[in-house]
Structures are given as structure tokens and as C-alpha cells.
Amino acid sequence: MGTEIERKFLVRNDSWRHGARGVTCRQGYLTLDRHRLVRVRVMGDEAYLTIKAETGPIARREYEYPIPRDDAEEMLVHLCERPFIEKRRYTLLYRGIEWIIDEFSGDNEGLIVAEVELEREDQEVVLPEWAGEEVSLDPRYLNFNLIKYPYGQWPKETEER
């Protein structure tokens, strides 16, 4: 069993893009229960089945398994909720800590979120200058909620946060 401890931030500018390389990611959910979810993800040439269970505000149990890409594609088409989460995922190092930046497309076009995985919930993090408002506790920014209520449908004032 693994534990994922993650904080999320909106991205305030494009300064993170210098030298960043990303991979296309498409994911769908077999279940949309906030407390227990099952996700299928195709990222580049690889595919994964992931099971998560909420254990705290920013912590989840996480089990992730590589699966054949063809199986993942079939599950996305025949078993997963719509719409899919479509994004380009970038990985960057900042002060020795790995950051993930997801630039969403499709129904969530315009949303860019930075995530940092921690070893402890109380771990201090030095924020890069491009990391804006923290949204770790805002359920709207959870990927499975972006399927139910895509960013493109949010009221205009929400988009300008």
C-alpha cells in the first residue's frame, strides 16, 4: 500500500514552461465516489489502473498498477464515465522537489494546476513564483470532480480567481 500526500496550486504565469517537456494524458473513472475511486490512465505509451481511498484532507491510500495499453484504451471507451480528463502533464524540479503541472484540455481547457507530493502532511514546501492560490482543499479541482463539473462550465468569476 502507498500513501499519496498531495498539495495543489493554481498556476499564475507561464515561467514554469522554460525547458518543460510534457506527455499527453487521458484518464477516465470507473467509479466517481470521492472516498473510493478507480481510475484508468493512458500516459504516453504507458497505461495504469489506480485505486485511491481518501484518508485525510490531502492524503489518500493509493494503489497503482501498470496494465496493457490496449486494455486501458478499451476500458476508457467502454467502461469509464464521460467526459475523460485530457491534459498534458509536465514534471519539473524546484529546490529538489518534484512538481507536476497539469495543463488541461477538452472540457477543462484553460485550467492549469501544479501538484507537489509530500512525504508528510506537515512537510514545509517552498513555493515557486509561478505557484498561485492553493486549492488542495477545494473539491472542484479533484480530477474526478472535473468530470462531473468541468472547468469550462464554471461561472466566469470563478475562472478569474
Judge contact between 122 and 56, C-beta under 8 A: no
**Lookup: cell for 70:** 490496449
Q: In the predicted model, what is the mean pLDDT of residues 91-112?
A: 95
**pLDDT > 90? residue 21:** no
pTM of the complete model? 0.91
Judge contact between 32 and 148, C-beta under 8 A: yes
Q: In the predicted model, what is the mean pLDDT of residues 43-57?
A: 94
Model pLDDT for residues 79-89, shown as the tens digit of each residue:
999 999 999 99
Which residues carry out catalysis? 29
Delineate the domains of the chain, giving CATH numbers in brackets.
2-159 (2.40.320.10)
Beta-sheet pairing, 22-29 with 36-43: antiparallel
**pLDDT > 60? residue 14:** yes
Q: How many CA atoms lie within 13 A of 20 on its CB side?
A: 20
